[in-house]
Amino acid sequence: MSALPLHGLRVADFSWVHAGPFAAMLLGELGAEVIKIETGKRVDIVRRLPPMADRIAGVNRSGYFNAVNRSKRSCTLDLATEEGLALARDLVRVSDVVIENFSPGVFERLGLGYETLREIRPDIILVSISGYGATGPDRHYVAYGTPLTAFSGLVALQGYPGGDPQSMNLAWPDPVAGYYAAFAVLAALHFRAETGQGQFVDLAQAEAAISFLGDQLTETTLNGRQPPRRGNEEAGAAPHGIYRCAGDDRWIAIAVTDDDAWQGLRTAVGDPGLDDPAFADPFGRWERRAEIDLIVERWTRDRSPEEAFHWLQAHGVPAAPAATFADLADDPHLAAREFFGIDVHPEAGPRQMTGLPWRFGSIPRRIGSPAPQLGGDNAWVFGDLLGLAPERLAELETRNVVA
């Protein structure tokens, strides 16, 4: 097997910001031909967000944009014009999948709703990603990462015992929804292969985030109890937390959840204080977890996170450094697995990028083509793919239809 798994699939990517572009990027990295439809009149906001390559602003220089839009081509269209919409429909006609993440109703008002797309291509797969879904009383509400994280219930779980809820300061529902959307595309492709029918996928980012918290929800549905905020604690597990190590702002996570790991910790740390008979069972350790934390941190403070990590793991103790991004970039394990790769962007230059978290045994791990420059593939998309004559394309560019 030499071709990538999705070789031969074409995706028309009308999405912007994070969730939709990330989903389309996953498909592109797996071999699909992804065409990003955008416009210079209202540039994808992520193109203007930092970090910028060499701290020089530019619509092709955003590290954020370039990280979630690899393995794509870019064409520019003004969808507010009839000719622009006609070209968009022509792209749908030659595509297998369409991805969009406008607010519910926007795609329909543009004249690109699912029923319209089915008339153009009966077996089309349309994935519509929105904050709260295409139906329901909240469907038109504005959705961004932090509010969606709060809506999902996750913020209510974050924070220290007795303290206020805390945000993760991370648009966590976006990549989660992106993975779900890519999975939904694969399922819809299988369904189409079996039945010949396309599919409309209505994907709500809020529901994607909520679905990751199933075990926490059951605490309420089964026991009628809201899970409390625990900080770094885990109910019944001790020691369990983040412990200071030698160095400036260096830490390690340790999670002891059974007797085997506890015995390994005792041996690794070698502190007589851990031999107290009161610590012989999990309940006793949980009841006196504060004492255990002091003993453990007394040991970790004299060691680097890496030293403590390898020593504890050698004794069967689940532990890992609280890595910085610089640590990850230089991590020898990730390097051995070729997780990172060098993305050579024509304007932003060579940059280290994360790979995908899976490997296909017969295919070398790779970073796909760099994120496209705004409208950089107009000639290929409209000329080579859709067959417009150069004179016609030039005329559309002059009138800002292709813009």
Check: CB of residue 252 under 8 Å from CB of residue 318: no
Residues 340-373: tens digit of each pLDDT: 999 999 999 999 999 889 888 877 788 889 999 9
Q: Which of 66, 65, 129 is nearest to 97 (CA)?
A: 129
Among residues 13, 44, 78, 174, the one annotated as catalytic is 174
pLDDT of residue 2: 60
Check: CB of residue 139 under 8 Å from CB of residue 118: no
pLDDT of residue 363: 79
Residues 160-207: tens digit of each pLDDT: 998 999 988 788 899 999 999 999 999 999 999 999 999 999 999 999
CA 82, 84, 86, 88 dihedral sign is negative
Residues 312-347: tens digit of each pLDDT: 999 999 999 999 999 999 999 999 999 999 999 999
Its pTM stands at 0.93
10 Cβ neighbours under 8 A, 6+ residues apart: 32, 33, 34, 35, 94, 95, 96, 97
pLDDT of residue 201: 98
In order, the DSSP letters of 172-235 are THHHHHHHHHHHHHHHHHHHHHHHS--EEEEEEHHHHHHHTTHHHHHHHHHHS-PPPP-TT-BT
- Direct distance between the N- and C-terminal alpha carbons of the chain, in angstroms, rounded to an integer: 40
Q: Average pLDDT, stretch 244-258? A: 97
pLDDT of residue 1: 44
Given 3-state DSSP classes, what are the helix, strand and coil percentages for the chain, each rounded to the nearest 5? 40, 15, 45
The tokens for 288 are: 């006196």
List the domains of the chain with CATH numbers.
10-212+337-398 (3.40.50.10540), 240-328 (3.30.1540.10)
Residue 54 annotated among the catalytic residues of the structure:
no
The tokens for 58 are: 């530019």
